Amino acid sequence: MTLNSCISVRLTPEIRLEQALKEEGVEDLASVTKLFISGEFTDADLTYFYENMSAHASLGLDLWNIAARREREISLKLLDSPEKWETFNRLALYHNEIINDWWAKLQAEVVYREQNSGMSDWELFSWENLLIWHIKGESEHSLSVQLWAQGYVYLRVYYGYVCLSVSKVEEICKSKFDAIKSCFDRLDGSEDNIIGRENGNFSFGCKNDGHFHDIASLAWYAGNRTEEFADQIIAKVRKFQTPEMTAIFKEINQKCRKIQ
C-alpha cells in the first residue's frame, strides 16, 4: 500500500492529508502507525507528510513519533549480537565528531575548487558549517547564496544580515525575487529574509535522493563521495552566477545597502 497516487495530485495540504487517508481506507491514526512501522508506506509518503505537517499539526506530531518508532524498529533488527551493540556504543560516543569531520572534508573540497575556479565576480566565505557565496568586494553579510548545514541542510538566498536594509530589499527589489527563485532546481519555500530555499535536494542513487532532511543523513556522502557531492553543490550555485543573475545581485546590494 502506498500513497504515491495521491501524492501526484496537488490539492491543499489539509484536503490532501484527509483524502490520502480516506482513499487508502485508513480510518484512524493507529492504523497509520501500524503501516509506517511495517514499512508499507514509502519514504516518499513520509516525506510528503513531513513537508505538510504545519497544515495538520496533530497528525504531524504523531507522524514524528511514527517515524521515530519506525527507525528504532529498523535499528533494533541490525543490533542482533553483543558485538554489534558494543560497536554501536563506541560509534555513538563520536557521532557528532564523525559528522563534523566528514562535513569539513566536503567544505574543504568546495573551498579549494572555488578558490581555483577563476570566478571574477564572486567570492566564497566559509564559516563552521556554512558556505556563503557573495559578490566580490561586498561583505559576506550582503545578499548571498548559502549552503546552510546546521541541523538541516538547504541551499538558500539570504538578505537579512547587517549590510542590507531589509525594508529596502522588500520595497525596491521584490520584483527581482522571481528571477532569483527560478535559479533553484526546486523551490521548497521562502520566508523572512530568505528569498528562496531548496531543502536537501541531492542525489546519490539511494532512497533519500532529493529529500535529505538533515546533516546526519548527508554526512556519509560528504565524507565518502566528497567529489560527487561537491560537484552537485557547485552546479547548483553556478545557476545564480550567470551574468544576468550577477547583475541582479549587484543591483540589490547597491540599491539597498545600509548607510553607515
pLDDT for the residue numbered 5: 42
- Average of per-residue pLDDT values in the chain: 81
pLDDT for the residue numbered 3: 44
pLDDT for the residue numbered 43: 57
pLDDT for the residue numbered 4: 44
pLDDT for the residue numbered 120: 87
Domain limits of the chain? 4-78, 95-256
CA–CA distance, 229 with 196 (Å, rounded to integer): 21
pLDDT for the residue numbered 115: 92
pLDDT for the residue numbered 62: 56
pLDDT for the residue numbered 72: 81
CA–CA distance, 89 with 95 (Å, rounded to integer): 10
pLDDT for the residue numbered 2: 45
Do residues 166 and 258 make contact, with C-beta atoms less than 8 angstroms apart? Answer: no
Low-confidence ranges of the chain (pLDDT < 50): 1-14, 37
Amino acid in position 148: W
pLDDT for the residue numbered 63: 60
Angle between helices 226-238 and 95-115 (to 10 degrees): 50
What is the residue-wise DSSP string for 18-76?
A: HHHHHHTT--SHHHHHHHHHHT-S-HHHHHHHHHTGGGSHHHHHHHHHHHHHHHHHHHH
CA–CA distance, 98 with 110 (Å, rounded to integer): 19
pLDDT for the residue numbered 44: 60
Per-residue burial over 36-57, b = 16 or more CB atoms within 10 Å of its CB, e = otherwise: bbeeebeeebbbbbebbbeebe
pLDDT for the residue numbered 40: 54
Amino acid in position 93: L
pTM of the model: 0.73
